[in-house]
């Protein structure tokens, strides 16, 4: 079916004329003659069969038709430009990927590795956003996500395991100096426990796994991100239960101390997920190839 569209160059010129309300000013911005811009406006008016501007000696007044066209045109032009840039970038394994990632995974695992991604795929552009709550693709504008959980939480999606998680109980050296170091898991209940609101049941599950009965809500400060909970533990506020992969540097530097051996997290793992319909996006294919290779050597 043949689509009935006016000239793209005329629409681009209209966007400038509407914004500046001046043919002469638009001609300067577009590097065209005033006559050329005027002809484009007349061609558009002929296409729509109604005037877009009322012409006066002092300038232009926008008509209702111009207001209707302006209401959607800039966004359409931006989307079209984005598509063209994405197609151009898709050469040599490039492209554009809109990626949503768990905050601490982004800062502690993904971001330090991005220079290697740039070396492997210099034409690939990653638009990175952060998600805290359970992520949904519908209406998000995202192509893929790095998530924590079970694969069945994301139906109609491809999923690839990036990493399993091991949890570790940590505190600062100063905290140990000020408090007697716990020798048994049940001793932890006597300390201030730091919580992450993204894993509200982490401590209850930990106590349950160690056959320790907890009859009331576990008190202690709550932080939205693992990185915030880790900083609180480093500051000596209390004891935190954190993914070991996110505090590995702190454990090596001994700014955090591991109180007990790490334990496998059974409630989920980290996955790269994307809707089936996105599987052929060049940027996604390139990123997935690199990501899974990185996960294997991590």
CATH at 125: 3.40.190.10
Q: How many helices (H) and strands (E) does the chain have?
A: 11, 11
Separation of alpha carbons 201 and 129, rounded Å: 26
Give the domain-ending residue among 58, 83, 108.
Answer: 83
If asked whether residues 159 and 283 sit together in one domain, one would say: yes
Q: Is residue 2 part of a domain?
A: no
pLDDT of amino acid 33: 95
If asked whether residues 256 and 281 sit together in one domain, one would say: no
User: Where does the pLDDT of residue 81 fall: very low under 50, low under 70, confident under 90, or very high at 90 and above?
Assistant: confident
Q: Is residue 1 part of a domain?
A: no
If asked whether residues 246 and 290 sit together in one domain, one would say: no
Give the domain-ending residue among 29, 64, 83.
Answer: 83
| 160: DSSP letter | E
If asked whether residues 21 and 36 sit together in one domain, one would say: yes
- The count of domains in the chain is 3
If asked whether residues 144 and 202 sit together in one domain, one would say: no
Q: Which of helix, strand or coil describes residue 92? A: helix
If asked whether residues 39 and 171 sit together in one domain, one would say: no
For residues 52, 74, 9, 41, the Cα torsion angle rounded to the nearest 10 degrees is 10
If asked whether residues 177 and 110 sit together in one domain, one would say: no
pLDDT of amino acid 96: 83
Q: What is the pTM of this model?
A: 0.67
If asked whether residues 260 and 177 sit together in one domain, one would say: yes
Q: Provide the b/e sequence for 16-50 (b: ≥16 CB within 10 Å).
A: bbbebebbebbbeebebeeeebbebbebbbeeeee
Give the domain-ending residue among 27, 60, 83.
Answer: 83
- CA neighbor of 282 nearest in space, from 78, 130, 144: 144
- CA neighbor of 167 nearest in space, from 262, 255, 59: 262
pLDDT of amino acid 94: 63
Q: At residue 75, does pLDDT exceed 90?
A: no
If asked whether residues 239 and 284 sit together in one domain, one would say: no
139-157 residue pLDDT tens: 778 899 999 988 888 888 9
11-65 residue pLDDT tens: 999 999 999 999 999 999 999 999 999 999 999 999 999 999 999 887 899 999 9
Separation of alpha carbons 177 and 167, rounded Å: 23
Q: Is residue 3 part of a domain?
A: no
pLDDT of amino acid 1: 64
Residues 6+ apart with CB under 8 A from 160: 271, 272, 273, 288, 291, 292
Q: Which domain holds residue 73?
A: 8-83
Measured CA distances, 70 to 14, 32, 75, 217 (Å): 9, 21, 9, 56
SS3 content of the chain, % helix, strand, coil (to 5): 50, 25, 30
């Amino acid at each position: 079916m043949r689509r009935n569209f006016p000239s793209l160059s005329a629409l681009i010129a209209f966007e400038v004329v509407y914004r500046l309300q001046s043919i002469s000013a638009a001609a300067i911005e577009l590097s065209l003659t005033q006559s050329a811009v005027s002809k484009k406006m007349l061609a558009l008016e002929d296409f729509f069969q109604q005037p877009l501007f009322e012409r006066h000696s002092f300038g232009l007044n926008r008509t209702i038709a111009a207001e209707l066209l302006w209401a959607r045109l800039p966004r359409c032009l931006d989307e079209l430009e984005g598509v063209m840039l994405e197609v151009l970038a898709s050469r040599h394994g490039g492209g554009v990927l809109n990626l949503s990632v768990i905050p601490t995974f982004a800062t502690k695992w993904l971001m330090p590795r991005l220079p290697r991604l740039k070396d492997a795929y210099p034409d690939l552009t990653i638009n990175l956003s952060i998600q805290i709550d359970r992520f949904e693709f519908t209406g998000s504008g995202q192509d893929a996500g790095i998530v924590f959980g079970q694969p069945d939480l994301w139906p109609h999606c491809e999923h690839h395991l990036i990493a399993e998680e091991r949890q570790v109980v940590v505190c600062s050296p100063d905290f140990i100096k000020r408090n007697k170091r716990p020798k048994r898991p049940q001793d932890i209940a006597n300390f201030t426990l730091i919580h992450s609101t993204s894993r509200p049941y982490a401590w209850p599950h930990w106590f349950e796994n160690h056959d320790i009965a907890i009859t009331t809500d576990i008190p202690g400060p709550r932080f939205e991100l693992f990185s915030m909970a880790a900083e609180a533990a480093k500051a000596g506020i209390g004891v935190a239960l954190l993914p070991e992969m996110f505090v590995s540097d702190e454990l090596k530097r001994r700014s955090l101390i591991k109180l007990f051996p790490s334990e496998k997290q059974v409630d989920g793992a980290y996955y790269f997920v994307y809707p089936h319909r996105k599987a052929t996006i060049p940027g996604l294919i390139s990123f997935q190839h690199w990501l899974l290779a990185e996960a294997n050597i991590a």
